[in-house]
Amino acid sequence: MGNGTLANRAIVIAGAGSGMGRATALAAAAAGANLVLVARSSTALDDIVRDITAAGGSATAIPTDVTDHAAVAALMDEALARLGRIDALINTVGTNIKGRALGDLTAESWNAMLAVNLTSAFNLTQAVVPAMRRQGAGLIVHVSSSAAKKPDPSGVAYQATKAGLVGLAHGTMEEERQHGIRTSVIFPGLTDTPMVLKRPTPTPPDVLARALQPEDVAAAVMFILGLPARTHVPELLLYPSGI
């Protein structure tokens, strides 16, 4: 399947059920990677695994609630058993809510945003690092948001949690570079994914027509995946050119 640029690379993709994660899974599979795909929805995962295998690629679905620390630890154990190693972890997990303004947030909605957008990233990182340490190499890519770089109407919980990914990634790099582990953060601007439907006010069609596509973000991930281990991309900003 595909061009083989990632032939035999063992990659875990979290958030693979839709949007950027799904597009990344399709691109990585086309490049020859062996994939473990993670999301809450087993139905969505079954769909993409079916598409990948029909095209001759290799992918296994492991439905997991990545906000659950113990479940993520079990996920990584199973991924290792199936893949033999984990060369890269791609984290595209994220959500937002309609009641996103500061005055509309509750303690419950704040904690829910923290769990999905940041705690899940911590769970995934902490669970995968031991395997990468044993290998002496590994790459972790977190997909954040342009909201972590510049103020926008996405809401304080979204902006705070997406900014938190930056601290997690850079802190992990400082602690683990001696073990050959690298981290990268991608900051996409407006992207036409299902999360756009969670906006309090619908995005005008003419604006959405100029947005990034999930495949654009997948291409950015593929760029980082394709670089040699001697390189490090701390951050990559990816904005729509016409917005």
Structural domains in the chain, CATH included, are 10-238 (3.40.50.720)
In this prediction, residue 195 carries a pLDDT of 85
DSSP collapsed to 3 states, 73-133: HHHHHHHHHHHCCCCEEEECCCCCCCCCCCCCCCHHHHHHHHHHHHHHHHHHHHHHHHHHH
Q: In which residue ranges of the chain is pLDDT below 50?
A: 1
- State the DSSP code for 173: H
With tokens 């990468």, the residue in question is 132
Please give the structure tokens belonging to residue 36. 């473990």
Q: Return the active site residues.
A: 158
In this prediction, residue 3 carries a pLDDT of 61
What span, in angstroms and rounded, lies between the C-alpha atoms of 214 and 208? 13
What span, in angstroms and rounded, lies between the C-alpha atoms of 138 and 177? 10
DSSP string over 21-72: HHHHHHHHHHTT-EEEEE-S-HHHHHHHHHHHHHTT-EEEE----TT-HHHH
What span, in angstroms and rounded, lies between the C-alpha atoms of 98 and 49? 31
168 in Cβ contact with 142 (< 8 Å):
yes
Sequence-ordered list of residues with C-beta below 8 angstroms from that of 162, at least 6 positions apart, any chain? 94, 117, 144, 145, 147, 148
Please give the structure tokens belonging to residue 132. 């990468």
In this prediction, residue 1 carries a pLDDT of 46
Q: Could you report the per-residue pLDDT of 57-84, keeping only the tens digit for each?
A: 999 999 999 999 999 999 999 999 999 9
| Model confidence, pTM | 0.96
Q: Which whole-number Å values give the CA distances from 175 to 2, 87, 179, 180, 227, in the listed order? A: 36, 18, 9, 10, 21
140 in Cβ contact with 170 (< 8 Å):
no
Q: What's the helix, strand, coil split of the chain in %, to 5?
A: 50, 15, 35
